[in-house]
Chains A and B, each alone.
Chain A
Amino acid sequence: MDIQGLTAVVTGGASGIGAGVTRVLAKAGAKVAILDRNEALGQAMAEEVGGAAFVCDVANDESVQAALAQAREALGAARILVNCAGIDTARKITSRKTGAHAIGPMKRVVDVNLTGTLICCAHASHAMLDLEPLDEDGERGVLINIASIAAFNAPNGQAVYGASKAGVVGAAVPLARDLCRYGIRVMTIAPGLFDTPLAGTMDEALTAKVLRNALFPKRKGRPEELGSLVQHICENQMLNASTIRLDAGFF
């Protein structure tokens, strides 16, 4: 699809990877709706890129429905959804020191990263089903979910985060199968270490280890580099149902 003039919804779009996606899509001519928990950051980003920001907790079905409806009213029907909202908890499943992993943060990570992504896919795609196709191929929209390389190879202390992101990867194929008849594509990106507030919470030893294990380049990714992959996925119609690693070759 040609992004110029289309509406894009970016969850978690006010910071980190989401901010990179928001900036790149806006620069390419999209009207961007930023769905974020943080109102102040969301408004600032909306002002910067000439979009609109809506407060949203992606783990809450009603909050998602309300925010998507507001976005549609403000900017028109969305053709692009990018699910960047995500959180991390670093804690071993059990250890003698800390005992069994607490249920509260375990549930919250899965609710935001996995259920939240699926909720946004359900409502955003439902709103796309009856839109006019954009071209002769019948394309109506594209959903892009953000997983993580932790979906494939998570370090210790990341069982819950890794599980939540693996869930996002596992959904890619059946989501694309569910939505192909409507001309809606579904793609997943699995980023490595990016320069974001979330990555900033990782301990230094783990950060150094991840960077050491990257093949090339041995540095954190820039959020705009992820944004440019999002843009390419939107523009390249043959990309569907797959998960692309963006990790400088990390094994």
Chain B
Amino acid sequence: MKLEGVAAFLTGGASGLGAASARVLAEAGAIVALLDRDMALAEPLAKELGGVAIQCDVADHESLKAAVDQATAAIGPPRIAVNFAGIDVSQKIASRSKGPHPIESMQREIDINVIGTLDGCALFSEQMMNLEPFEDGERGVLINIASGAAFNGPPGQSVYAASKRAVAGATLPLARDLAPYGIRVMTIAPGFFKTPLAEGVDDRHIDKLISMVPFPKRWGDPRELGELVKFICQNRMLNGETIQIDGAMR
């Protein structure tokens, strides 16, 4: 699809990979709605990009539904929706020192990463399905963000890996559900990118992670992920697939 003038909704769009993608899409002519918990970050970015910022907790159905309605009222129904909102809790499933993984953080992580993404797909696609079709009958595209951990989770990442593999696993049936309406569904599984989430990791661990990237030996620039988001929107044959973007780090 052509990006000029189309509405793009991005959950978690105020920071990290979401913010970089919002920037790339806006530069290509899309009008962006940043659905984020953090309005202090979302508002100035939305202003800079000529879009709108809307407060939203994706794990809360009422909050997400209200945000979708507000965003639609502000910039029109989405042609593009990208589910970036996600969290990462690092804790082993059980250990002698820490006991069993507590239920609260486990539940919160699954509610945001899995339910937030699936509910986003349901609510965004509901808005898309009655839009005028473009060429080939295309009405919209949903892009979900998984992680390399979905396929090879390190220790302490059982819950995160499970949540991200769930996102990857939903791709094909989501695409099948929405194909009759001309809505494509794609998933991106990023490796190690320079985001606030990754910058929280200690330096020694960062060096180790970078050393694990075969080529190029550096962390990814969030803009590079944004470029992939843009490309997926533009190339209609991409559908029902998960793309790993990770410099071959597996």
Contact = CB atoms under 8 A, between A and B. Distances in A.
A110 interface: yes
Contacts of B170: 154, 159-160, 162-163, 166
Contact of A118 (B99, B101, B167): B101
Interface string B165-182: 111111011101110010
Contacts of A160: 118, 170
Nearest to B168: A166
Interface in B149-168: 149-168
B174 A93 contact: yes
Contacts, number: 182
A236 B154 CA distance: 24
A94 B122 contact: yes
Contacts of A129: 94-96
A61 interface: yes
B165 A107 contact: no
Interface in A124-161: 125-126, 129-130, 150-160
Interface-central residue, B110, B118, B168, B178, by most chain A CB under 10 Å = B118
* Interface secondary structure of B, over-half rule: helix
B27 interface: no
Interface stretch (B9-17, B18-26, B123-131, B220-228): B123-131
Nearest to B169: A166
Interface residues of A, number: 51
Contact of B153 (A99, A123, A177): A177
A114 B166 contact: yes
B114 to A, nearest CB: 6
Interface of A: 61, 92-96, 99-101, 103, 106-107, 110, 114-115, 118-119, 121-123, 125-126, 129-130, 150-160, 162-171, 173-175, 177-179
10 contacts: A100-B123, A107-B111, A118-B101, A118-B158, A150-B173, A159-B121, A167-B110, A171-B158, A171-B162, A178-B156
Given A100-B126, A114-B110, 5 more contacts: A101-B122, A163-B166, A170-B161, A170-B164, A171-B162
